């Protein structure tokens, strides 16, 4: 399905390195008040088993964030024919679970570029500390998706990308999205919901308390969470 699509060159290319150098020169942002996280998911048909898992484990984000000043989350998803929806902000794990459980997966093409463009728009208009994206494939022009990721990097908004499965295009593109935005990338096993639970907790720690909180959480939790936080050092 995606095997013949043009892929970006491997990490370390001149274009990627140029973006990373530009991002490295950006000043560190000062974190004030509650953290704000955009939680985005591919809700196309192939994601249905993982969507059901995620509905039951997202509460870890709030547990990890409460001790650091709290976290506001906005859920976004795409599915079906050109459908892209965004919820209101919520700081209630039960409310987020309700919103997620009300969504049913529908067959359709991916809209990752649209997700990144929306995140950039929100970053320019208001404070947002991080983006989570959970998906399994990409059916778009990967060069355009990479450009949108680079724009987020220049805006100082990290994207934490969690990949389900082994789609070849996603396996090459998703790590580059993370690198271009100075975020992090990790695969997860749909049969190990505890792993994704800890990964989401690590991102919440970052959104609520910054890099130091993320590293502390990773050290305490170990495993996949530690591998994720090592990318942010």
Does residue 120 lie within any of the structural domains? yes
Ranked by mean pLDDT, the top range of 97-101, 119-123, 181-185 is 119-123
Distances (CA, A) of 156 to 15, 19, 54, 113, 230: 18, 12, 27, 17, 19
Does residue 10 lie within any of the structural domains? no
Does residue 27 lie within any of the structural domains? no
pLDDT tens per residue across span 72-94: 888 899 999 999 999 888 877 67
CATH of the domain at 82: 3.40.50.410
Spatial distance between the Cα atoms of 90 and 127, rounded to a whole number of angstroms? 15
Spatial distance between the Cα atoms of 60 and 67, rounded to a whole number of angstroms? 12
pTM of the model: 0.78
What pLDDT shows up at residue 223? Answer: 67
pLDDT above 90 (res 227): no
The least confident of 23-32, 68-77, 105-114, 127-136 is 23-32
pLDDT above 80 (res 109): yes
What pLDDT shows up at residue 189? Answer: 66
Phi, psi for 104 (deg, rounded to 5): -110, 140
Does residue 148 lie within any of the structural domains? yes
Residue burial 69-85, b: 16+ Cβ < 10 Å; e: rest: eebbbbbbbbbeeeeee
Does residue 200 lie within any of the structural domains? yes
Does residue 6 lie within any of the structural domains? no
Does residue 21 lie within any of the structural domains? no
What's the domain count of the chain?
A: 1
pLDDT band at 8 (very low <50, low <70, confident <90, very high): very low
Does residue 8 lie within any of the structural domains? no
Q: Which residues form the domain of 89?
A: 33-228
pLDDT tens per residue across span 155-171: 999 998 988 888 999 99
């Amino acid at each position: 399905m995606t095997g013949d699509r043009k892929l970006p060159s491997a990490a370390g290319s001149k274009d990627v390195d140029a973006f990373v150098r530009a991002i490295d020169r950006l000043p560190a942002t000062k974190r004030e008040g509650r953290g704000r996280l955009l939680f985005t998911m591919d809700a196309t048909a192939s994601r249905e088993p993982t969507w059901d898992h995620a509905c039951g484990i997202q509460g870890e984000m709030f547990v990890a964030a409460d001790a650091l000043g709290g976290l506001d989350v906005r859920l976004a998803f795409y599915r079906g024919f050109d459908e892209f929806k965004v919820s209101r902000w919520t700081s209630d794990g039960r409310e987020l679970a309700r919103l997620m459980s009300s969504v049913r997966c529908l067959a359709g093409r991916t809209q990752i570029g649209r997700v990144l463009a929306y995140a950039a728009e929100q970053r320019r208009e208001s404070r947002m500390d991080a983006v989570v994206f959970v998906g399994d494939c990409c059916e778009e022009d990967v060069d355009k998706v990479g450009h949108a990721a680079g724009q987020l990097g220049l805006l100082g908004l990290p994207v934490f990308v969690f990949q389900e499965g082994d789609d070849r295009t996603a396996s090459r593109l998703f790590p580059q999205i993370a690198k271009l935005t100075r975020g992090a990338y990790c695969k997860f096993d749909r049969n190990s919901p505890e792993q994704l639970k800890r990964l989401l907790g690590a991102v919440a720690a970052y959104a609520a308390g910054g890099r130091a909180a993320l590293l502390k959480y990773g050290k305490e939790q170990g495993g996949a969470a530690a591998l994720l936080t090592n990318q942010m050092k």
